[in-house]
Structure formats: structure tokens, C-alpha cells
Amino acid sequence: MQHRRFILGTAGHVDHGKTELVTALTGVDTDRLKEEKERGISIELGFAPLRLDDETILGIVDVPGHERFVKQMVAGAGGIDLAILVVAADEGVMPQTREHLEVLRALDVRHGAIVFSKKDLSTEDTITLLREEVEELVQGTFLERAPIVETSTRTGEGLTELRVALAGICERIPARTVSGPFRLAVDRVFSKQGIGVVVTGSGYSGTIHVGETLELLPSDKTVRVRAIQSFGEQREHGFAGERLAIALQGRKLGDLPRGEMLVTPSSFGIGYMLDARIHVAEYGDFEVKQRERVRLHHGAREVLGRLVLLDNEVLHSGDDAFVQLRLEKPIVAGRGDLFVLRKYSPSRVLGGGRVLDPDPKKHRRFDPRVIADLTMREKGDPEELAERSIVEAKLSGVKIGDVDAAAMEFLAGAGAVTILGDRVFATRVLRNLASDAYRIVGAYVKTRPLRRGMDKEELRQKLRFPHSRTFNRVLEVIGKFKPLYIRDNYVRTDSADVSISESDKIAIDALEGAIKTAWFVFPRHTELATSWRGKDSLADALQYLRDEGRLRRIAEDRDMHTDALNECLGAIDRWFSEKDTLAVSDFKSLFRMTRKHAIPLLEYLDARRITVRRGDVRTRGPELPGEGRA
């Protein structure tokens, strides 16, 4: 059965009973820190699972309510699908009630419920007054027509009704897409004995698998997924819309700061600027000036920056405007991402916005062309929006099924996109990939002229191209933009064949002659090194002779001439035509060699099933060439 998974966030003033409510619903106490127990408030994010029915699972993010911990609240709210606004019946609407509601609005949360907690401490009259106060508060927000559920964790009243209300809301929420590049904002990092470094967060998009290689940005670190859990359940996969704990290989605890993005390689960029549309919060009397310093919260990351007002001199509460955010530290954003802004000092929630361009150039203020471009980015037509999403997907590409069919036909006809397998890539991205491949392979060939070229898989990894199955087709396409020559499993830039100088040819012929003269008594590489006179490495020269079919590697440090190996195979074939088994002593006598050479050669023959070892003797193997050809 395919489960529907959603992230639910709690919001509300300090000590209004959010954590007690989560515990009553799930049986999980999300106050895990000693300081939280002592102080009786939530400082860090808490998490708990709630299964509503056979198909629907909620991951509840219990966020702190105290004003000092708003940034933790933003980290938790960044990936949520629905929210409950908790208001204590004995206290009513308080400052952080309003501030948390503004955060949810800024993050474009569109589904939720209102919960009156601590009903046992109130009267019917106070409940009536509270309803009027809350209805006025949420007017014009996503909670305007939301269900209101009265609860008491002491008596259990309203808990069943709340579960039913949440199940009804989830039926109206479209499930997050699990296709496309994976992204998770890291909101916790810790180390666990026997497992290693673990990061947690809410899956924003895509799917990950155990064993997969991912990137941590903006620190640009590569990691490998060792294990995945969701609320203690061991998993092979992790999906968007889930709370995930991911054990990582290849890094120490100090390497992984909170606030990183864990992403599919080459899917997202790092930037110090954003073009955006922002909305200034209505709950406070705000005035936002040009180049005002602000705190930006995106995912679990907080950075300082300045607001460049592109079409206004000043903004006030309730205003919307185009801005460019110039940041003091980088973030990892995508087009359409949501963020929250707080004043630099005092650090109140100022509002929020949506990213229109995660990698813009600097703009001049009041430039009509800039405003027109941002307006188009905000609205756009199907073709433009489709092309932009494909470009922003970079090397991950976009599944064909995720793109409007008519827009796809138009873009493909215009040459703006290229379809490879079941994915579509921006042609300009593939052109850039061709330039990168040409540079990387060119440098490889220049420093290793005797090699057949760069191995395809090594090139794919250096390019950070995530789709191994389509890489051969990609090489064919980008080879039309830049001269790349492919032969077997190798890529070159000058020609498909190796071209060597006369001096290299003389040295390589001498090396081959020495190995051929030794015949069955094949020398170690350390012995060959004393007489090697080539300007390139001995290892490259030996590989060149192997690629040409003139040598066969018998062991890690030994090569045998192909003519000698063919004679060996012919003699073994004749031996087995008369006898059933071949002992080591027979092998030594047959080729007049010592055990020093006999054992490596026999192990080579065994590995290729030319002979089969049975105890102390060998028998004919299924791969022994009938005519003695290597």
C-alpha cells in the first residue's frame, strides 16, 4: 500500500500546550533536552509520528513558542504541509500567536486547523470570547474557514475530533512529488554510537536510497547514505513529505553544520543573491527602508543580508514588492522557494517571500526591464515556465511526465530542450556540460598521452552527472557541441586513436622486446623500471601495450607478452587432450619455470576459468581457447 505522508507543524505562544497536545495524540514526548525538561518549554524542534488511518501518516514537527526560539520554529515550518494553531483557552491570543501565524502565511501554508487547548481551565463564556478573538485574528488567512477543535489533554476531550479533522484536511492536500532531485534541509546533526553522523530534516522533494551519493551544500561536501530511518523505522528509501533521519558516511560530526541542504548532486546551486517578491507582515507597524539589514530564514539556515527595494523607496505593513536580497553568506535555493524575513534588531518576524530567481545578476533600481522580467517570472506562460524549470533542474533534468506536453513539443521543436530517455534537459545545460567534458578529458589526455582516453565512468563522476544509464547517450549529444571521440569505454579529445611520438615508440618497442625476450619468465614491474627510458610513466606504457593487445596483465605487478601467453594456452590445450589433470609440478616442467612464476600464471588462468582448480591439481576450464589464442 502506498502511504500518503505529510508534515504537520504546530504553532502558538509559549506554554499554550503544543507539546502536551502532541504527546496526547502520539504518545511521544518531544521535549528531549534536559534544559527543556527543567524549564518546561521547547527549545529545539521535536518530532513525532501520527498515523491517522491505514493510508495517512503525519510527521509532527513540534516547534518552540518562546520569541527567542522563532528561528527554530522557522526551521521546522519550512517543509510543512499543514499546521495547527494552538491557542490556550485560559489566555487567548498572545504575541507569539500572531508572529507564528505570520510565519505560516509567509511560508504559504494553505491547510490547517485551530486548536483551543486547556479547555478544562476555561468556561463557556471565555470560549465564546476566544472564538471571536481568533476569528478576527485569522480573517483573510488560510485558517479563516479552518475547523476549530476544543481540547483538553488532561481529560482527553477533543482529541478524537482533532484526529478526524486532520484526516479530513489531509484528503484535500496533494501529495508531494517524489520524483526529481532530492532535497532536505538539515535541522539537526548528531552522532550515534555504532552508526556515526546522523542528520535529520523534512524531505522537500524527491526520493533517496541507501547507498546513494549526495551533496551537502553550501559547504560542497560529498557524502554517502549509510542508513535511513523515519521515526525509528529502518528504511531502504526516503521520500518527500517525510521526517527523515539519515546516517552518512565519509564525514565527521564537526564537518556538518546545521542549516546545510542535503541534495542530489548537481541539482542545486549556491548563491549570495535572490530576486524575490516579499510581503511585509500586517501584525506590526513596520517600515522597511532601502538596503535595510534583515535576517533571512530559508530551510534551517539563517543568514544576514540587505533588502534592495527594486520598485519602491519604502515599504509598510501589508505591502508587497519586488526586491533583491544581497546576502552575507550563501544559501541553496530554488525558484519558488519560500522564506521568512526577520528584522535585524529587534528580531521580530518582518514578513516573507517567494524566490523568483535563485541566481540573478545585480539589478538597477526602478529599471522597467527588470520589473517586467520579474513580473514574467512570477506569472509566465507555460512554455517559459517549463523551460525555466528544466534549466533550473540542471544536470538532474526533469521527467518528461512532469512537463506540460504542449510546452514540451514547442521547446523541443525550438531546440531549447533535449530529450534523453525518460528525462528532458535544457540544451544550454548540455552545451555547458560539453565544454566541461572537453576541458576535463583534454587535460587527462594531455597528461596521459599513452592512455586510450578517460574512462567514461570516471568522466561521469567528475562531471557530477547523476544518471549513469543515460550517460552514453549524453556523450553522443554533447559530442556534437565539442569534439569528443568515444571508443569502447574511453573518451578522447584529439582522435579516437592514441598518437605517440617517435621517441615514445622507440622506448615502448624496447619495453615490449624486454618482456617478449623473457617469455614465460615474465619480469616484475620494478625490474622493468630500471631500464625504462620513456618520458611518460612505465604504468602508462604498459597500459598502452595492453590496450594494443600486445601484453596481458598476469598479476598486479607482472605482464606477459601475448605471443608467450598464446603458446602457453596451446600447450595446456594439448596437455588436456591427453590427460585429465595438471599438477603444479607438471606446469613447472612443461614451461621450464620456477614456482615464483608458475603460481601467478596459474592463478591468472584460474581467474579466467581457463583452468579449474580442484585441490592440488587443475582441470580443463570452460574458457580454454581450443586453438590456444589469448
Q: Rounded to whole angstroms, how far apart are CA atoms 392 and 403?
A: 13
Distances (CA, A) of 412 to 181, 188, 425, 472: 22, 43, 10, 20
Q: Give residue 629's pLDDT band: very low, low, confident or very high (50, 70, 90).
A: low
Amino acid at the residue 191: S
Average pLDDT for 585-594: 93
* pTM exceeds 0.85: no
pLDDT, residue 44, reads 43
Q: Give residue 386's pLDDT band: very low, low, confident or very high (50, 70, 90).
A: confident
| Domain made up of 271-378: CATH architecture | Beta Barrel (2.40)
Measured in Å, how far apart are the chain's first and last C-alpha atoms?
A: 54
Task: Name the grid cell of 73.
Answer: 520554529
User: Could you give the 3-state DSSP secondary structure of residue 179?
Assistant: coil
Specify the CATH number of the domain 4-170: 3.40.50.300
Choose which CATH entry (3.50.50.60, 2.40.110.10, 2.30.30.240, 1.10.10.10) describes domain 502-620: 1.10.10.10
pLDDT averaged over every residue in the chain: 87
> Do the domains at 4-170 and 502-620 have one common CATH topology?
no
User: Could you give the 3-state DSSP secondary structure of residue 200?
Assistant: strand
> Are the C-beta atoms of 169 and 111 separated by less than 8 Å?
yes
How is the chain split into domains, by residue range?
A: 4-170, 183-263, 271-378, 380-499, 502-620
User: Could you give the 3-state DSSP secondary structure of residue 578?
Assistant: helix
Under DSSP, the state recorded for 69 is: G
One DSSP character per residue, 462-527 reads HHT---GGGHHHHHHHHTTTS--EEETTEEESS-SS----HHHHHHHHHHHHHHHHHTTSPPBHHH
CATH fold, domain 183-263, is Elongation Factor Tu (Ef-tu); domain 3 (2.40.30)
Q: Give residue 564's pLDDT band: very low, low, confident or very high (50, 70, 90).
A: very high
Q: Rounded to whole angstroms, how far apart are CA atoms 43 and 64?
A: 6
Q: Rounded to whole angstroms, how far apart are CA atoms 336 and 478?
A: 30
Most confident residue range from 304-313, 498-507, 547-556: 304-313
Residues 332-375: pLDDT tens digits? 988 788 898 999 988 888 999 999 988 899 999 999 999 988 98
Q: Rounded to whole angstroms, how far apart are CA atoms 361 and 611?
A: 66
